Amino acid sequence: MIKISYATAIFVFCIGLYTILSKRNLFKTVIGLTIMESGALMLIVTAGYVHGGVPPLIPMEGQAVNPLPHAFTLTAIVIGASDVALALALVIKVHRRYKTVDLDKIRGLKE
Amino acid sequence: MILTLAVIFPLSSAFVIPLLHLYGSRGLRLFLPIMGLGAFVLTLAAAASGFGDYALAFFGGWPARLGVVFVADGLSSVFLALAAFGCGASFLYFYEQMGTGPWRFYVIFFLLQASMNGVLLTGDLFNMFVFYEIFSLAAYLLVSYSLTWQAVEAGLKYLVMGTVGAFFILLGAAYAFIATKTLNMAALAASFPQMPKATLIVIAACMVVGFSLKAGAFPFHFWLPDAHSSAITAVSALLSGVVVKVSIYSLIRVSLLFFGDALPSVFDVITVLGVLSLLGGHLMASRQQDIKRLLAYSTVAQIGYIMIGVGMGTATGIAAAVFHSFNHMLMKSGLFITAGRLAEEIKTRNIQDMKGLYYHRRGMVLAFTVLAAAIVGVPPLNGFMSKWYLVVASVEKRSFLAALALVFGTVISASYYIRVLSVFYTPGEGFSEHESRRPVLAIAALFSACCVVLGLLPFFTPIWELFVEVGSKALNTKDYIAAVLLK
């Protein structure tokens, strides 16, 4: 059960990485970033999973799930959102100059 | 207390500046120098408090295993001092040039300084990631601050690469958390040696890839030359001098603390990355016609030097790497400030158009010459001293290939810096006759004087022994774990 969730998280992470590496469209690059982020976050969330666990609230019956990963995830989501917001702002700036978001047509800076 | 203040003060400065701006520019003019000075002094104070013994700060009084803890030891002290001087110099330069007008710049600047101090002080892996991302965001913003098309493109490139690196670090942290159920770095270090090798390899791979992406080591260096050359002068100096050093610090801290005993082969990987970025950076730099790009590629190469020192994994190696980081901050910040200022004044960055610059801008070109000689490694300047110790460390470890690469890289760097200098000193015409303003000259002179002094100091004072002590203390993870967890 938990093995599948790990594999899914890493699979999602790899999809994001592949998107960034292969696509020449700047918007798809940004989408790839968010997918990568989701993959990493999924992995953190599954870390808190306890089979048959209950919410970690005070009148507790049975074993509680680990609440820590959710706090991490919330923090990381905020960070990811600000990254993506800045990325999109910069993409808009690039688009204003070149009227395109295709990386092959944007050859401003030499390699 | 002082450790917390080193983060809180710049952070609240960043918050207060827009409020001051609302009430007119007088308050800003009054308080901005105080903020810059305060951040500088507090960072140095934090460095001083951690240099001798471990200085700790627990948030909310929780013990290290439960809460977030700030730790300052020898290694973070040296890097804190580096950050204080680098940030201070670039703050001075920008303030001298622009005054209090562009207040948004100072907001981002103080955010950067606060989060860099945070990365250098924190003893918690996830907290490190958070500070790391704050400082990366501030760095992306600073790169694209001027909003020219080069700056925007370079900023976007930096952002994409940096964020990919960040998520690799996050992935590594997630693995570490799954394996150990803790994120405190001391507790992680205590439990890593008992872990299966496969787990360690995955965590190490994520961490090394992430930090190399952030530091701009050779196979992952694409963003660095663009970002460092497209930014405005003060930011270039800050990025090359300080920001990459913070990534290097994280690499040293994580690799020593987590994998020093558990997985020593990490250091071989770091050495290989170092050799690659040394040779690649120097070879690319020798082909550049744009002076700021040349300096940026030279930064890639110097990161290679530092990573070779880290990869030795011995006290001498770490000491040499730390010493070279400090020297590189002085040399490269100085070079970017002098070269950037010259390029701004004559409105071109092409090296060929700078013929005869010496006869019109004597002070700046002389400072540039001293700094370039230092970075090439002309004895008795500081670049020579730290490169010497790096070679000594790699010979001690019997990795002669790394030592050869160090020497060979120095030869290439000599060739391209001499090319630049020969253009500067060839007679030529066509520049307006006015020397740069005094304060800029003073900053440049200060940097070059520091280079000379740090080169001569090891002959008279046991400064090298101090660095070796820092290195051996950083290697001694048992002390670190005991200091953090048992208090």
B237-269 pLDDT per residue, tens: 999 889 999 999 999 999 988 888 878 888 999
Q: What percent of chain B has pLDDT over 70?
A: 99
In this predicted structure, the answer to whether residue B41 has a pLDDT above a threshold of 90 is yes
Q: Which of B228, B392, B382, B197 is nearest to B301 (CA)?
A: B228
Q: What tens-digit pLDDT sequence spans chain A (111 residues)?
A: 568 888 899 999 999 999 998 888 889 999 999 999 999 998 888 887 777 778 778 777 778 888 888 888 999 999 999 999 999 999 998 888 888 888 777 766 554
Q: In a 3-state reduction of DSSP, which class is residue A25?
A: strand
DSSP state of B33: H
- Give residues 144 to 163 of B whose Cβ lies within 8 Å of A: 144, 147, 149-150, 152-157, 159-160, 163
B167 contacts chain A (CB < 8 A)? yes
| Dihedral angle over CA of B296, B298, B301, B307, nearest 10 | -70
Contact between residue B223 and residue B216 where contact means Cβ atoms under 8 Å apart: yes
B329-355 pLDDT per residue, tens: 999 999 999 888 888 888 888 888 888
B123-144 pLDDT per residue, tens: 889 999 999 999 899 999 999 8
Looking at residues B32-54, what average pLDDT do you find? 88
Smallest Cβ–Cβ distance between B153 and the set A17, A29, A109 belongs to A109
Nearest Cα of chain A lies from the Cα of B245 at a distance, in angstroms, of: 22
Q: What is the pLDDT of residue B205?
A: 92
Judged on CB neighbours under 10 Å (0-12, 13-18, 19+), B212 is buried
B394-445 pLDDT per residue, tens: 998 888 888 898 889 999 999 989 988 888 888 877 666 666 677 888 888 8
Looking at residues B196-212, what average pLDDT do you find? 91
| Domains in chain B: boundaries | 2-485
> How many angstroms separate the CA atoms of B127 and B181, rounded?
15
Mean pLDDT of chain B: 87
Q: What is the pLDDT of residue A111?
A: 47
Interface test with B, best of A21, A79, A104 (most B CBs within 10 A): A79
> How many angstroms separate the CA atoms of B380 and B459, rounded?
10
> How many angstroms separate the CA atoms of A53 and A61, rounded?
9
In this predicted structure, the answer to whether residue B150 has a pLDDT above a threshold of 70 is yes
Contact between residue B357 and residue B424 where contact means Cβ atoms under 8 Å apart: yes
Note the ipTM here. Answer: 0.93
Q: Which of A45, A40, A72 is nearest to B126 (CA)?
A: A72
> How many angstroms separate the CA atoms of B318 and B306, rounded?
9
> How many angstroms separate the CA atoms of B239 and B224, rounded?
9
Q: Which of B225, B431, B414 is nearest to B348 (CA)?
A: B431
In this predicted structure, the answer to whether residue B280 has a pLDDT above a threshold of 60 is yes
Determine whether the interchain pair B147/A93 forms a contact, defined as Cβ–Cβ distance below 8 Å.
yes
> How many angstroms separate the CA atoms of B367 and B375, rounded?
12
Q: Locate the chain B residue with the closest alpha carbon to A101.
A: B153
Domains along chain A? 2-52+63-98 (1.10.287.3510)
> How many angstroms separate the CA atoms of B99 and B111, rounded?
19
A8 contacts chain B (CB < 8 A)? no
Looking at residues B308-323, what average pLDDT do you find? 90
